[in-house]
Amino acid sequence: MIRLRDVSLKPAGVGQPVLHGMTLTIPQGEFRWLLGPSGAGKSSLLKLLTLGAKPASGQMDILNTPVTGASRSTLRNLRRRIGFVPQDYRLIGEWNVFDNVALPLRLRGRSERDIRQEVFAVLDWLDVAPHAHSRPTTLSGGEQQRVAIARALIGRPDILLADEPTNALEDSQARRLLATFQELIDLGTTVIVATHNEGLVRDAPAPSIMLRDGTLDPHANEAIA
């Protein structure tokens, strides 16, 4: 479960919070679209939920664990249970595709034999296995995006957060990704996907978190808390 109570986010050196008054609850194993105009705060909310920033005020529980005041090791363990597909992919340019995707499993101390098997299975599934030994920068935008998706999925996260994960994909690949998200939800994963792609949202109607001006849009979010 994810629970926010009157949470705000204020990056260093910024006068006004970029998120404020965020109160919402997302039960485990549910899907939410994260919607709102450009600059509404979608990426900022994902940054909070990936524990990439601390709330300036309010209370936030991730996977039923209070984040405020949590120890470093608690936060590290929580981060390992969260998969994230960033808008800009954030692949490590000096590493090949295989090593980028293997990272979450290596952090867990898995054997190289298991890692090889699992990484190739997910790369195959996302049609990027032939690029396993290439640097990410030599790949197309859509291929890089699929590598970032592979890295987020490989650790079988309890929460999967994705920031515009289909913007470089073809329609058929985007639909396949949605089917994967549904499989993860069926397995009990919470999935939150920020998107501007109205067609995608129409194809897969689901509850939405609608943001506007750094907070929940009061007209679009009824009974969300």
Cα 156 to Cα 173: distance, rounded to the nearest angstrom? 20
Min dist. Cβ of residue 18 to ligand ATP (A): 3
Under the criterion CB under 6 A, does residue 165 sit at the interface with ligand ATP?
Answer: no
Min dist. Cβ of residue 138 to ligand ATP (A): 26
Strand duo 190-194 + 31-35: pairing: parallel
Residue number, 38 or 172, with CB nearest to ligand ATP = 38
Under the criterion CB under 6 A, does residue 42 sit at the interface with ligand ATP?
Answer: yes
Under the criterion CB under 6 A, does residue 8 sit at the interface with ligand ATP?
Answer: no
Q: Please, are residues 22 and 8 in contact by the beta-carbon 8 Å criterion?
A: yes
Q: Could you tell me if residue 116 is left (phi over 0), alpha (psi between -120 and 50 degrees) or otherwise beta?
A: alpha
Under the criterion CB under 6 A, does residue 43 sit at the interface with ligand ATP?
Answer: yes
Residue number, 41 or 58, with CB nearest to ligand ATP = 41
Min dist. Cβ of residue 137 to ligand ATP (A): 22
Cα 20 to Cα 44: distance, rounded to the nearest angstrom? 11
Under the criterion CB under 6 A, does residue 39 sit at the interface with ligand ATP?
Answer: yes
Cα 59 to Cα 198: distance, rounded to the nearest angstrom? 32
Under the criterion CB under 6 A, does residue 10 sit at the interface with ligand ATP?
Answer: no
Task: Give the closest residue to 4 by CA, choosing from 75, 62, 51, 46.
Answer: 62
DSSP string, 112-129: HHHHHHHHHHHHHHTT-G
Residue number, 87 or 173, with CB nearest to ligand ATP = 87
Min dist. Cβ of residue 87 to ligand ATP (A): 6
Under the criterion CB under 6 A, does residue 178 sit at the interface with ligand ATP?
Answer: no
Contact set with ligand ATP (CB under 6 A): 11, 14, 18, 36, 38-44
